[in-house]
Structures are given as C-alpha cells and as structure tokens.
Structure 1
Amino acid sequence: MTESFLPHMNGVTGSVLQILKHLERTGHDTHVIAPDAAGMPTSLHGADVEAIPSFALPGYRNVRVGTSPAHRVAASLRRFRPDVVHLASPFALGWRGVLAADRLDVASVAAYQTDIAAYTERYRIAATTGIAEAHIARLHRRATLTLAPSTESAQQLASLGVDRIRRWGRGVDAERFQPLRRSQELRARWGADVVIGYVGRLAPEKQVEDLVALRGIPGARLVIVGDGPSRQRLESLLPDALFLGQLDGDALSAAMASFDLFVHPGESETFGQTLQEAHASGVPVVATGRGGPLDLVRMGIDGWLYRPGDLDDLRMRVNDLAGDARKRRAFGEAGRAAVQGRSWAQVCDQLLEHYDEARMLGAADRSLRARRVVRPERSASAGDRRWSRYVALGDSLTEGLCDPAPDGSLRGWADRLALLLAARGGLRYANLAIRSKRVADVCGPQLERALQLQPDLVSILVGANDLVKHRADVAALARQVEEAIVQLRAIGADVLLVTPFLPGRRAAAIYTRRFAAFATALAGVAARTGAILIDTDLHPTLRERPNWGEDLVHLSSRGHRFLAYRAGEVLSVPHADALGALDAALHEHESIGAGLWWRRHALPWVWRRLHGRAAGDGRVAKHDDYIYLGRSNVRRDVEV
C-alpha cells in the first residue's frame, strides 16, 4: 500500500518500483493498492495495481490522496491473502491499511519516508503539527514493524513513543548514476565554469529559497532541476539561476553528473535520495546538518554539512568547493566509493529480512493477545466464568461522572462492565475511582487498597488529569502504571488497561501529542506485563460529540455504554458486541446549551483551579469494599 504511485514520480514511488522489481525477480507474489490517478498502470512487474478513490492534494494537482474506507482495504487484503502488508510512507491510506492488516491478523511493515509534521510547519499550519505527530505515532505503533531511513528519523519516531524501529535505507542505481554520464555539451549550454546543482521538488518544505545565499559566487551558476508550487516565486528570487523543470531517465542522470557540486538545503529530509544519486555520479554534496544527510554525508570526506538555518555557513561551504577543483574531485571519488555497497538489490534483500521478522513478531503478538484474554489455568469456554472479584481503579471516568442511574447515583463504564461479567454467574465488585485523581493517586492509595482486596481482575483508566497539566513526564507516568500492574500481576490478577482519550473538539487538539505518546507507552507496558489493552485510538467514534456529557470533558451515558461493551468484547463476554448495538439503539443522547455549560461546568472548574482545589477533594470511593452482583441485580438493572 502506497500513498504515491505512477504516473506521479517521487521518492516514494521510486522506492516502491524498485521493491516490486526485486520481489518479481525473487519469485514473490505482489499486489499494489494506490490512489487512483489518470494514466495509472493496471499491472506492473508482475503485480496487479488496484486503484482506489482519491482526490488531488491542494497545490499539487498530480498528487492524489486515497479515500478508501478500511473495510474496503480489508476486503482487498482478504482476496489477496498476503503474508505481509508493506505500507510505503503511510499517512492517510496507510492508516486504513494498518487497521485492515490488524483486523485480519496480517503482519504490517510501515516504511517511514515523509516527515508530515515538518511539512505542516513549513506550510504555516503549525496548529496541526501536534495532530500530525499524534497520527504518525498512532499509525506506526499499530504496525508490526517500523522502518526508519536514518538515525535522526529513528530518534524522532522513538520520541513519539514508537517502538520496534529498524533502520532501512534506500538503494541507489550506481549504473544509471555515474561519472561517465557527465556531458560537456550540457555544461557548454549552461555556460559556467562551476555548476552548482539542485534536484528536487520546488516546494516550501524543501527550502530552495535558501539558495539565494549563493548568488554572486564568481564563475558559478545555479542549475535547478524539478518542479512544484514554489517555482514561480523561486524564479523571481533567483533570476540568474537556470530552471530545467522536471527531468527523469537519462536526462536526469546526465544533468546530475554534469554538476560540479550538489546542494540540498531541506531540513525535513528523512533520508535524502538525491544526495546518494549525486555521490553515485561522482559529485560532492553540501547539505544541511539535520535529518537524513547526517548519515549520508561525511564531513571533509565526500561533502560538507552546514549548520541548519545558517546561510552564511552554507555560502562558505559552497565557496570552499567551488574554488578548489582538486577537492571537488577527491570528494566526488569518495562519495562514489561510499555508495557502491548500497545497490537496490542489497537494500531489498534487507527488506525481505525485515518482512520475515515482521511475520515472526506478528505471530508472537497474536499468541500474546490470546494469552492475555484466556488465563491458562482456566477454561477457554466462552460460557465459563473467568473472574469472581473485579476492582476498578481510576478517576472521574471510572467513577461514572455524567452517567446517572435512575436513583441519582453514578454508574459509568466500569459499573456496566461489572454487570456484564456478573451475568455469567455472579461477581464481587469494588470501584475505588475518585474524580480528579492522577496516576500517583491510582498507583498509590488506590493500588494499596486493591492489593488488600485480592482481586482476580483489575481495570485501570488514568492519566488524563496528568496529561493536561502544564508539564507532563509521559515516560515517568507510564513507569508508575507499569510498576502498579507488575504488583497486581504478582498476586495473580488480570489487568485491563485502557488508554486515556480526548473528545473530538478543536480545543483538545493541543494535547493530542501527549495523549498519543502516553497511549504508545501504555501499549509497551501491556506487552511487557501481559495486561489486556484497550487501545481507544482504534475506536475513533468514541471522540464523537454524542459520546460526551454536558460538561464536554466526561463521557455521556452513551459513551460509558460504548466503552463498557468494548471492554466486554476484549474480555470475551458472550455477545457483548450484539448487546452494545442493541443498547445503542434504545438510547438517545440529550444535548446541553453553551450557556448552561459555562454556568454548571466551566466557571466552577476555573474557580477550583484558581484556589488550588480539585473536584475529588474530600471524596471517598463509592465502593471501597466488595459488593455482590448476582443474576437478581442484573435483572433489576435491565428492568430499570
């Protein structure tokens, strides 16, 4: 599955084509799913190409964004029955692909190739940067394995909480790109003693405008290969430069080899394929000291790295090579030698090894999920009772705010889950959750009381109150949760771990990166401890307005029901999904006006914050000890 494909040619498309060639040569069956575009082939290198509905990206009429729903992607995968799903530079279509692969228990490999978050900043829509980073983290932690092209991109992904990261670079066609392609005819036409070249997209994220710092270098001329939305502006900024437009094939390799030095100013490159092609062509490189170039350019050996944003340093580095033909030749020969071990055949062989690892990890994940839900010492029969003592830990969500029972008390998702479990033969249930509590409270006093109760099932939903603070140490919060789960597992309890979530409101967007990073960390905690994970990112409808109460920060009765039935599904409660659908059909959410929201909720919250108070101060848990829920309790609740 690829976000970009023919006829639009870019780095993503180029790497996909090389992978398809290699898979065909090595006897593997392949199938391509890509956004529909005029002129798109129906088959290529032994692979059928399936076009899905798409729309043009604003500013890039040739770039298409796939819009196919996850169920259609899943149906396509089900027909082809793949061993591995390769997600090439996944974002929009890739998200649907990773969900579909997960649904079908197929291993997925996500190749990180485009720094979308950096692009949002360059296009001056920084308000969406946090959302983009949260989406990247969510997508890559759903994939079985993530491939990062450079050291810095691997570190960037790790900082977002992504694990299972492997380094996988890109190959270079050293036969196509080589010094013998150098053309004296081209150089004569360009009319310069020293040719400074750039190859790439002409767009804000490439920072081509920084090349204005190179104007006036004696005897030198700037030659720019590529096209894009910034071309007209760049032509006015660089009137002395020669713009050749988009080139490919022999024309591109001849132009590259005819440069005397290659410059690339973009700071958001996850790899830098054109830098490799310049080296293969025997051309030294000057690039910014950030991102992919850090792994590709060896300072003082085959090129220079200049300080990011320092255009004086850029000009100095270019001047150094422009005025020294012997140094250019030595750097070019060193660059050519460095890429000889990076053929596409070698790189794709490494990719096949990553596929094998992903299949192995996918099988282990399936086994782990099965072990989490069915305890080995108990029967796997769906009709057997699995738990007899359930304790719920957490904050206001688990206490049940905005979910009133007919008698005026609060119930909430954990109470509803307890009733589902009790319907299988009776259950002792305690709810220790208290509004406004944080991770330290749950992993402190609440945990201490839970250990005294000796439960065999514990649910934990906590973290939102910590994550909306001015500062939040996500790693430290996750460690506290992990230590609590370890103690609970040591007494033989199963732990249901729920990732915290946000409403689908614009005001909540500033916290999306933190919540995504914490959810990613909790996924790792669950994997290490054997906890049963409910990853709420996989249930995007939970963010919809009807699932949220009148205060807009707590779940409504509908939202509590939704979460309870999702918990029931993951705990293998019989017919939990059908019961959830029936329950949803029997209830309708009531809305609240904005004025009433301010009076009842917003202003009291502001007053408490100004006075250093919390809504849970002085409150005690509603069920500090076990209550017994049997079939009679369940019948009465249903009648109500």
Structure 2
Amino acid sequence: MRVALLAESFLPHMNGVTGSVLHVLRHLAEAGHETLVIAPKAGDVTADLHGARAELLRSVPLPSYPEVRVVFARAARLGALLRDFDPDVVHLASPFVLGWQGLAAADALKIPSVAIYQTDVVAYAQKYGVPHATALVAGHVARLHRRATLTLAPSSASTRQLEGLGVDRIRRWGRGVDAVRFAPEHRDAAWRDAVAPGGERIVGYVGRLAPEKQVDDLRALADLPGTRLVIVGDGPSRPALERAFPDAVFTGHLSGAALAQALAGFDVFVHPGESETFGQTIQEALASGVPVVATGVGGPLDLVRSSVDGWLYRPGDLDDLRARVADLVGDDAKRRAFARAARNGVQGRTWEALTCDLVGHYEDAVALRRIDDSLLRRGGPRPAAPAASRARGRWTRYVALGDSLTEGLCDASRMPAGQFRGWADRLAELLAHTSDAGPFRYANLAVRSRRVRHVIDEQIPDALALEPDLVSILIGANDLLAPTVVMPALVAEVESAVRAVRRTGADVLLVTTFLPRRPAARLLARRFATYNVHLRRIAHEQGAILLDLEAVADLGELPLWADDLVHLRSSGHRLIAYRAAEALGVPDARALLDLDEALHADTDEAPRGTWLTRDALPWVWRRVRGRTAGDGIRAKHAGYVELPTRGDRQRARTT
C-alpha cells in the first residue's frame, strides 16, 4: 500500500506521537509499503525515516508550550502533496490542526482516512486552565473523528470517551513496545549506586513534566522512608517540581540506551496522570520488568493488571497512591513476583504485530470509503465500522433468529451427514469459550427460507419464552428477493422485533444483509443497501449492537460462497462468526479467526449435478407451488443446549 502519514508533531521533538510514527514507518517499510510523512518543521531531522518521503511544513510554536508546533497549511497545499503521492490511505496521527486540514484534503480527493486518537486534548484544555474552551475543543475532536473514515482508539477508556462525543466507527488499536530495548537485562548496579548511594529503593517516573501529567501528585511519595524518587523527562513544570522535590533526582530528557537503563533500574514505576489515552511509558516499564503503580482511570486500566504486575490506585487519592507504592517497596518477594509478571505480560505486544493489525485497519477503511461514496449518492448515512467492539456484558443465554444463513446451510464442517453448523453455532462456542460464568446456554430458532413475518409470528415468541440475555437477528434477504417489496412495512416489522427483545432488557445483535460480488447481484444491490440503511437507524435508536456485514468487503468474495450461489461455505460462516465475536467484545477475535482458518480448511464435498438442475429449477418449482425449502423443517435447537465454558474447564482442572 501507499500510506500518507500526517503527524501533528514530529522530530526533533520526541514524544509519544513521534515515537509511534517512527515505529510505524519502520515496520511498514519492512513489509514493503511506501510512505509519505507530512509534519511540522521544527529543526533538522537526522533520524532514519526508513525510506519515507518527508514533507515538513513551516510551523509556529504554541506560546504556552513551545515544544508543540502548529501548522497552518492550506488544504490546497496538502491536497497537492497527496495528489502527487497518490496514497491508498491517509493516516492521521493524533490529529487536531494539521490533521483537520489533511482530512479536508483527503475528503476532496476521496481518499480513505484513519484517525489515530492519541492525545486527550479535551483534558489538556482543562489542565491548562482554559475550561471555557473545553466545549469548543470537544466539539472539534468529535467533528474530526466523525468525518474520518475510521478512528483507532488505544484503550477501552478512550473508546468510551469518543463514543460519549458521538464518534462512530471506533476500533481498538494499542501501541507496541520494543521488548529488546526495554528489558530487565539493562538494569545496571553502577547507575543505581549513582542515584541511590544509600541503597534506597528507587521509585521512578518517566514522561513530560507538564500540568496534564500531574507529576506534582508525586509529592505523596517525597518522604517515603527508604526510597529515592527519580524523575526522568523535561517540560514547562520542571522548575516548579525541582523546588517542590529538592531530594529527588531529575535526569532531564533521556532516550535510547540511557532511557532503557533508567527504566530497568527502577524498583517501582509510578504514573499519576489521569488523562492518558494509553500510557506508553507504562508498557516500557512493564517490559523492563518493573511493577507499575498507576491511577485507575484511562489507558492504564488496559495495561496494568492490578495485584498481578502492579496496582491501580483510586484517582486523586494520594493516600492510596502512597500505600500502594509502600506495599511494593516494602515487600521484596511480592515486588519480584510482580516484576516477572510484568515482563511476561507484554510478550506479543510488538510493533511488528501492531503494524500488521494497522494494515488490516487500512484495508477496512479502503472498503468503507467505497461504501460511503456509494451510499452518499443514494442519500443514505454511512454504515458503522465492521466489527466495532461494543461489548455490553457477560451473556449466558444466547438465542439466534433468522433464515438459512443463521441455520447454517452449506456449512458442513466437522458435522454428521445432513447436518449443518453455521456462524451462530460458531459464535455461541466462542462466547462460551470466553465465559468464566456457567453454564452457557444456546438456542437456534432459524429455519431456511423464513421471512421477516416468520420471525415476528414464530421465532420472537419462542425466543422470549426462553428469557435470553442476547439475541441475534439476521433476516430480510428472502423478503428482498421478492418481485415487489414494500420497504416501509418490512422495516417496521424488523423494528418491532428488535423493540420486543430490547423491552425485556436483552441485548440484540442486529446484522445487515449482504450480497456476493456477482454481476447478477447488482440488480439487487440498491434494494439491499436501502434496507441496510434502515437497519443501521434501528440499531442506533433501539440500542442494538450492529454487525454491519455490508461493510465487510471480504464477504463478497466468491470463494466464500457455496456452489448454489446463495449460501456461504464454511469459510464464510467462520468469517461472520469471528466478526460477530469482535463486535461483542470477545478478546483477540481477529487473531482467533486467522488461527481457525489455518487449522480447519474447508472440506466441502463436490455437489452432484449442475446448478440449474440442482438449485435453480427446484427453487422455481417450489415458488410456483407456493412452497419453500423450509416447509416441514423444525429449528435445530428449539430449546437450549448447554455448552462448556472456560470457567467449567478451569473448575474441572482444580477438582
């Protein structure tokens, strides 16, 4: 791919945004992708940009924070740069000013954009004493990320924050860590003797010395017996902090081997900031084998495993902060156990793996942009991002409703002759596999050839009698294949079904319809797209979880479709199941899909006869007689079946 990266800050000023961009450039280059960097010019750049072309634009320093540069480039100038490079996607690194201008230029050229949410500028506005500007800043952030094709958030807290601002299409994408540079082996006795000559336990902080980092909260640790406070970093707050902590060691800014040595030399790492969207230095401390004490809000919630590799203290409670640090510095055995767990916990969080995930997000953005442009011409709203993670809770009773797709037709993978598996069965197994509670119960009321009215009249009453806490609804394709469709009536029936389930307090996974990428399917594309627009509105208004399969471009690929041309093969059902699992918050769902694909290749038997005699003529004959393939067919799981859970397996091992 050709990727244009617009960075709100860049070299020679090193911060989290700059560091992330450099790592991404390196691993994109190693994977064979071409890159362009557009960023503020703040001085000479001597670092290796890994073959990236750089366009550094004139910038001015922010008066209250001169290390931050602001670019006021015209969209026409950025458009010319993008047009010349001709990227497949525009990557917006922590966008705000330059990012907004670049987003306008990308939109004008119809280039998909991926916005990386990395800086909580709303919280920064509050910390810097301009609360009257907070609403304006929040509005700008919301508009920017709603306009981007896709937004990547680094943590569950930042995801919730963006959703609260009305941002849609949010995916989780964290940060990698260099586990070679940051490692326990870099712990150096001479360095420790220099900063703590009395043999004190070293409590350290690494980061910018600025109000939003709340470094002043470390005053709670200044007189902790038997400890030495070491503060690594620089910034506008440094003079005041040096006066406040006269016994602390201030190293100034460190990078490279010097930073790795300092982190590995800590006994406990402390991170007091409450406005972190992620917390990269926390990851680096963990990789260095150093337990972490961090505030229990924001990015640290996803990084620190409290009571395993560190502690999360109550935000703003400095007594709790002091107690947590004292607990670790005073207990050598616990601190060593936490240190081992810290190192083990970051294995696999490499920048190589994260950049591979990033390329997958780029590809989704390209597919979404095509759908956006198509829907815009029809006057419909843009679809939600595929598989957006919106977990509601831990479900124990799941019921699937629908037609042949949910029944599982043509997915005979590892099933007895004449029986089918299907995406809903696979999803139920995934939900059970990740459940610590038990038991997990699953029913599948779907029957081939059913229409929306069958769901209303037959499946909904039976489902509600089972008192589920999760219901999936994938229905409507058979209605849309009819010669005429009264769309308002069809949509009203679907909405009444969703409302009936939601009224019980159960969650609904509402699934959009989709078509194969065949010439004949184009005749139905407008009808299906219009129906899906209504499903997205229903999901939003009724509080349903949307699985937008129309936005999953891979589902249109012909190898995923069976020989009857209307159902999915096993590989297609696998793809839907794992996308549904991702939508429901199942951890690592995409990685599990790749593993499942590798281990279980399709073994579908070659069908007998031609498509005309085997599939088309029987379908026409049934229509002429007013019958359907589902006549006389009963739901395969009309009542609950019980599936083993992770909790069941764990309990079995302990007995």
Does residue 38 (structure 1) correspond to residue 43 (structure 2)? The answer is: yes
Does residue 154 (structure 1) correspond to residue 172 (structure 2)? The answer is: no
Cα distance in 1 for residues equivalent to 2:235 and 2:48: 28
Give the structure 2 partner of residue 75 of structure 1.
80
Give the structure 1 partner of residue 147 of structure 2.
142
Partner SS, residue 44 of structure 1: coil
- Structure 1, unaligned stretches of length 5 or more? 374-487, 493-524, 532-640
Structure 2 contact 487–531 (Cα < 8 Å) conserved? no
Letter in 2 for 1:225: V
Assess, with a 3 A threshold, how the Cα gap between structure 1 residues 318 and 24 changes in structure 2: closer, same or farther: same
Using the size of structure 2 for normalisation, the TM-score is 0.57
Give the structure 2 partner of residue 55 of structure 1.
60
Partner SS, residue 64 of structure 1: strand
Does residue 314 (structure 1) correspond to residue 303 (structure 2)? The answer is: no
The alpha-carbon deviation at position 60 of structure 1 amounts to: 2.7
Structure 1 contact 41–49 (Cα < 8 Å) conserved? no
Instruction: Spell out, residue by residue over 1:148-186, the C-alpha distance to the aligned partner (whole angstroms, 9 max, x if none).
Output: 000000000000000100000000000000000001001
Give the structure 1 partner of residue 518 of structure 2.
none
The alpha-carbon deviation at position 62 of structure 1 amounts to: 2.8
Q: 1:271 aligns with which of 272, 278, 289?
A: 278
Give the structure 2 partner of residue 239 of structure 1.
246
Give the structure 2 partner of residue 521 of structure 1.
none
Cα distance in 2 for residues equivalent to 1:81 and 1:6: 24
Q: Percent identity?
A: 60
Assess, with a 3 A threshold, how the Cα gap between structure 1 residues 207 and 366 changes in structure 2: closer, same or farther: same
Cα distance in 2 for residues equivalent to 1:207 and 1:327: 27
Cα distance in 1 for residues equivalent to 2:188 and 2:8: 35
Give the structure 2 partner of residue 324 of structure 1.
331
Give the structure 2 partner of residue 370 of structure 1.
377
Does residue 223 (structure 1) correspond to residue 230 (structure 2)? The answer is: yes
Assess, with a 3 A threshold, how the Cα gap between structure 1 residues 527 and 221 changes in structure 2: closer, same or farther: farther
Cα distance in 2 for residues equivalent to 1:133 and 1:526: 33
Structure 1 stretch displaced more, 31-40 or 6-15: 31-40
Does residue 257 (structure 1) correspond to residue 264 (structure 2)? The answer is: yes
Instruction: Spell out, residue by residue over 1:405-426, the C-alpha distance to the aligned partner (whole angstroms, 9 max, x if none).
Output: xxxxxxxxxxxxxxxxxxxxxx
Cα distance in 1 for residues equivalent to 2:281 and 2:101: 30
Cα distance in 2 for residues equivalent to 1:42 and 1:371: 48
The alpha-carbon deviation at position 193 of structure 1 amounts to: 2.0
Q: 2:96 aligns with which of 86, 91, 99?
A: 91
Larger Rg: 1
- Count of matched residue pairs: 386
Assess, with a 3 A threshold, how the Cα gap between structure 1 residues 78 and 526 changes in structure 2: closer, same or farther: farther
Assess, with a 3 A threshold, how the Cα gap between structure 1 residues 43 and 336 changes in structure 2: closer, same or farther: closer
Q: Which aligned pairs between 1:214-613 and structure 2 lie closer than 5 A?
A: 214-372=221-379, 490=488, 528-529=533-534
Cα distance in 1 for residues equivalent to 2:123 and 2:68: 18
Cα distance in 1 for residues equivalent to 2:339 and 2:532: 48
The alpha-carbon deviation at position 43 of structure 1 amounts to: 7.5
The alpha-carbon deviation at position 67 of structure 1 amounts to: 1.0
Structure 1 contact 42–48 (Cα < 8 Å) conserved? no
Structure 2 contact 8–99 (Cα < 8 Å) conserved? yes
Letter in 1 for 2:7: T
Give the structure 2 partner of residue 177 of structure 1.
182
Give the structure 2 partner of residue 600 of structure 1.
none
Cα distance in 1 for residues equivalent to 2:378 and 2:127: 46
Structure 2 contact 73–98 (Cα < 8 Å) conserved? yes
Structure 1 contact 109–143 (Cα < 8 Å) conserved? yes
Instruction: Spell out, residue by residue over 1:180-220, the C-alpha distance to the aligned partner (whole angstroms, 9 max, x if none).
Output: 00010011001242000000000000000000001221110
The alpha-carbon deviation at position 530 of structure 1 amounts to: 11
Cα distance in 2 for residues equivalent to 1:527 and 1:103: 26
Q: Which aligned pairs between 1:5-24 and structure 2 lie closer than 5 A?
A: 5-24=10-29
Cα distance in 2 for residues equivalent to 1:49 and 1:6: 11
Cα distance in 1 for residues equivalent to 2:10 and 2:531: 37
Letter in 1 for 2:264: A
Does residue 209 (structure 1) correspond to residue 219 (structure 2)? The answer is: no
Structure 1 contact 211–265 (Cα < 8 Å) conserved? yes
Letter in 1 for 2:160: Q
Assess, with a 3 A threshold, how the Cα gap between structure 1 residues 199 and 42 changes in structure 2: closer, same or farther: closer
Cα distance in 1 for residues equivalent to 2:285 and 2:264: 7
Partner SS, residue 346 of structure 2: helix
Does residue 121 (structure 1) correspond to residue 111 (structure 2)? The answer is: no
Cα distance in 1 for residues equivalent to 2:531 and 2:294: 42
Cα distance in 2 for residues equivalent to 1:220 and 1:528: 61
Letter in 1 for 2:9: S
The alpha-carbon deviation at position 527 of structure 1 amounts to: 9.0
Cα distance in 2 for residues equivalent to 1:167 and 1:527: 25
Partner SS, residue 231 of structure 2: strand
Structure 1 contact 43–49 (Cα < 8 Å) conserved? no
Cα distance in 2 for residues equivalent to 1:491 and 1:190: 75
The alpha-carbon deviation at position 100 of structure 1 amounts to: 1.0
